[in-house]
Chains A and B, each alone.
Chain A
Amino acid sequence: MDHPFAITLDTGTSLANHTGSWRTSRPVYVDRLPPCNHACPAGENIQAWLSHAEAGEYEAAWRVLTQDNPMPAVMGRVCYHPCETACNRAQIDEAVGINSVERFLGDEAIKQGWKFSPLETESGKRVLVVGAGPSGLSAAYHLRRLGHEVEIFEAGPLAGGMMRFGIPKYRLPRDVLDAEIARILDLGVTLNLNVKVVNILETMIMRGFHAAFLAVGAHIAKRAYIPAGEAAKILDAIAVLRSMEGEAKPLLGRRVVVYGGGNTALDVARTAKRLGATDAIIVYRRTRDRMPAHDFELEEALEEGVMMKWLSTIKRMDDGVITVEKMVLDATGFPQPTGEFETLEADSLVLALGQDVDLSLLNGVPELNIKDGVVQVGANLMTGYPGIFAGGDMVPAERTVTVAVGHGKKAARHIDAWLRGGAYEPAPRHEIAAFDQLNAWYYADAPKTVRPMLEMARRRATFEEVTQGLDETNALYEARRCLSCGNCFECDNCYGVCPDNAVIKLGPGNRFKFDYDFCKGCGVCAQECPCGAIMMVPEAI
């Protein structure tokens, strides 16, 4: 330095002063588990695919999504979206419309003809999947992608299970279902229809399968004893919904009474309306708040003119007349009879009281544990018999399409590990990103986009889809409402707000790193990180 004394200094000279030594706690970048991902029964990496979607990279988003769930167009219609219930954005304005973006991506994939990428290596192992419902299809998809040869045996005439024979068309158009099933089969999955497996062990040995995934669902309707006269017409909900797929539509008459309080009861009542019933009345023994059906579905049913008879049980049915008894809830919330009766006129009565599993294919399989009519499985979804796994409605779990799809994925991973002689170890979970770890200031106000609904006259008279999709503009808007809870989205806040210039920007996709030579540990970055992806950790002193 040949400058005059104390007059001129060189730039960069302060870099000799390593202020990092002042630090008593250091910031570290963390990844936390977004509540949506945590809540997803299908284990989708929702935040990751939303992140692609918000950049307009729809195909990339769809590819990330389908790593976990092969049926986004179905999901975007029938999933009860626990992700949205968990979404932190609800505490700012409203939850992100994850389900509607998922549907947009699923529909876009069908429109654009996106296919799953072909797999790379064959394992040489053969896996039998029994049942082509959501769980079986999901397992087949994942097993195939893991390199195994997969054959599905389905007792019914078409694939889809409850997605086809339980969920009405106005909620899930069949062309959407067909397209997503076809794409799974295109991976090289063999589907055998109208084949009922009567003895699983025999089938496995005869056909040379190394493992099996059972997903036969639950479609034996539960019955209740209801004294009935000669001419009384009593049907079960599953048979009614199944016959909607055939040529001969069910003859329910003009006044239809449905007995039960689940989503299936609503589906039948709404179907009856569309078939021309003037009255569709649901009789349920408890109250609205205790109804197992989802409230938004009840709301839609009420809008369409379905009527509700709360706190009532059906005592008997004679020709055209149903006798109901009024109930009261006792202190434990259980309905108790009152001895007061009234009558309802009805041409038919449909029982929607739940379903049981047909477990006959398991006859002769040793070491099985069957309890409450369902097969008990371990954490790896394997039954007591090595190599036989089970999932979906036939194991103890919530009976939804999404749970079933999740079981399919989970079982596939465990079957794969089992076939390779190991055990599947899921990656350790990060801590959940809670709302109070976010800095909500940085998110602009942006109310949720509401999906358009079909006009009422057509909802009452046709089986056209009730809930419409988003277009590209509002799907993009909706995706951009994501807060990216717990995971860096490269907003540059830490890089910008550091008073010590001690955050190094690594460029697009590479996030940032701290320069601990100069970081004084003030914690401004952690405080101002919108998504809670920086944690302050005490230094060892």
Chain B
Amino acid sequence: MTDVSTTSAVTQKLRFYQKGTFTVGNRLVSERERSVQASIDRSNALTCGHRACQGCGEALGARYAIDAAMRATGGKLIAVNATGCLEVFTTPYPETSWQVAWVHSLFGNAAAVATGVAAAMRVKGRGDVRAIAQGGDGGTTDIGFGCLSGMFERNDDVLYICYDNEAYMNTGVQRSSATPPAARTATTPAIGSEPGNVFGTGKSVPKIAMAHGIPYVATASVADLHDLERKVTKAMGIRGARYIHVHVPCPLGWGSAAHDTIRLARLAVESGLFPVFEAEHGHLTASRKIRRKVPVTEYLQPQKRFAHLFSSEHGPQQVAKLQAVADRNIVEFHLLDQEGDV
């Protein structure tokens, strides 16, 4: 069996520390080598009192990412937020749980507003203040997609972070273009001969971002904090358009137990359904290897949105198709150390 597999230099360094390699912190290494989240004085950019559901993956992903960006920029950061769960649960008037300069405008224009923020900072001679745009998969892959592509194509100095929970959760779990095939949502009921979401051609925004040839594109998961923090830190060290796509389970929309949020994110990665990789200037440069490969069923079974796969007559066929998706990812993104090594 292959060992630690992330591309993270820090994680590599921690290999010797058998019980601190994958955990958030490690008392045996210096503060500097520990994760941002392990620090007693992390900025907690997204603090307590927010109204996200129990076990919200997006709340977690956003704090991971923005805290890392805050450390990377010394707190000189402005975050622009698309409409969506993240905006709604963090900022119900007159409260906010953000502890970072934060702007919300519309559902579809986060990338454009962030472009404006970056431009404004530049003309004010405050180019040291950096801009981040963030949104859910709806605001990114559907509604804000035009603005996002524009920001990429102009190579604006913005890091765009998409927290992908695979549907419009805030408004009642409607399908987005990031919803996986076969998943049941309010708009893709589990009925008929092809229950749940259709097996379409798919829409990988990370790959679309790569096609723009921008300096940095990465995917990440709340299940691998070290990898996520390293990617955000790396992105903040680059000027120009950058894109990070973070997989964040949603207990409400996925019909999973609140305590399973990180476990499901991990199973998505370990099954190959959510490939974790990074690319520079349009080229794949690294991928996070699968550590303990699991069949897709291990990931699908704990989620009610996939329950029909395990009860309807069409289930086995659909599971096989989802396994094929994972298998293709494994080959395309080189997710196993040696192909075929299980």
For residue B328, CB closer than 8 A to chain A, the reply is: no
Contact B19 A497 (CB under 8 A): no
Contact A496 B38 (CB under 8 A): yes
Q: Which one of B23, B44, B292 lies within 8 Å of A442 (CB-CB)?
A: B23
* Stretch touching chain A among B47-55, B120-128, B133-141: B47-55
B63 — nearest CB in chain A belongs to which residue?
A501
Chain B residues lying within 8 Å of A294, measured Cβ to Cβ, are none
A55 — nearest CB in chain B belongs to which residue?
B28
For residue B17, CB closer than 8 A to chain A, the reply is: yes
For residue B27, CB closer than 8 A to chain A, the reply is: yes
B263 — nearest CB in chain A belongs to which residue?
A527
Q: Which one of B1, B19, B24, B47 lies within 8 Å of A489 (CB-CB)?
A: B19
Closest Cβ of chain A to B48, distance in Å, is 4
Contact B3 A444 (CB under 8 A): yes
For chain A residues 491-541, which have a beta carbon within 8 Å of chain B? 491-493, 495-502, 505, 507-508, 515, 517-518, 520-524, 526-528, 530, 536
For chain B residues 220-249, which have a beta carbon within 8 Å of chain A? 225
* Stretch touching chain B among A117-125, A250-258, A456-464, A476-484: A476-484
Chain A 129-140: CB-based contact to B (< 8 A → 1; otherwise 0):
000000000000
For residue A379, CB closer than 8 A to chain B, the reply is: no
Chain A residues lying within 8 Å of B315, measured Cβ to Cβ, are none
Contact A15 B24 (CB under 8 A): no
Closest Cβ of chain B to A246, distance in Å, is 47
For residue A54, CB closer than 8 A to chain B, the reply is: yes
Chain A residues lying within 8 Å of B46, measured Cβ to Cβ, are 501
A51 — nearest CB in chain B belongs to which residue?
B27
Once bound together, how far apart are the Cα atoms of A446 and B21, in whole Å? 11
For residue A12, CB closer than 8 A to chain B, the reply is: yes
Contact B54 A495 (CB under 8 A): no
Contact A499 B59 (CB under 8 A): yes
Chain B 247-281: CB-based contact to A (< 8 A → 1; otherwise 0):
00001000001111111001000000000000000
Once bound together, how far apart are the Cα atoms of A237 and B315, in whole Å? 70
B59 — nearest CB in chain A belongs to which residue?
A499
Once bound together, how far apart are the Cα atoms of A378 and B27, in whole Å? 44
Contact A17 B24 (CB under 8 A): no
Once bound together, how far apart are the Cα atoms of A500 and B56, in whole Å? 9
B11 — nearest CB in chain A belongs to which residue?
A444
Whether A508 touches B25, Cβ cut-off 8 Å, given contacts A501-B47, A502-B48, is no
Once bound together, how far apart are the Cα atoms of A493 and B263, in whole Å? 13
For chain A residues 9-32, which have a beta carbon within 8 Å of chain B? 9-19, 22
Contact B18 A522 (CB under 8 A): no
Closest Cβ of chain A to B302, distance in Å, is 12
Whether A524 touches B262, Cβ cut-off 8 Å, given contacts A444-B3, A446-B18, A496-B25, is yes
For chain B residues 7-56, which have a beta carbon within 8 Å of chain A? 15-28, 34-35, 37-38, 40, 44, 46-52, 54-56
Chain B residues lying within 8 Å of A481, measured Cβ to Cβ, are 18
Contact A501 B24 (CB under 8 A): no
For chain B residues 76-114, which have a beta carbon within 8 Å of chain A? 90-91, 93-99
Chain A residues lying within 8 Å of B173, measured Cβ to Cβ, are none
Once bound together, how far apart are the Cα atoms of A55 and B40, in whole Å? 21
Which 9 A-B pairs have CB atoms at the shortest separation, nearest pair first?
A492-B25, A496-B24, A523-B259, A14-B49, A14-B97, A522-B55, A491-B23, A522-B54, A518-B48
What are 25 sample pairs from A and B whose C-beta atoms fall under 8 A apart?
A1-B94, A9-B94, A11-B98, A13-B96, A14-B95, A15-B49, A17-B49, A18-B49, A54-B28, A55-B27, A441-B22, A444-B17, A444-B21, A477-B18, A480-B17, A484-B19, A490-B25, A491-B19, A491-B27, A496-B38, A497-B60, A522-B56, A522-B251, A524-B262, A527-B259
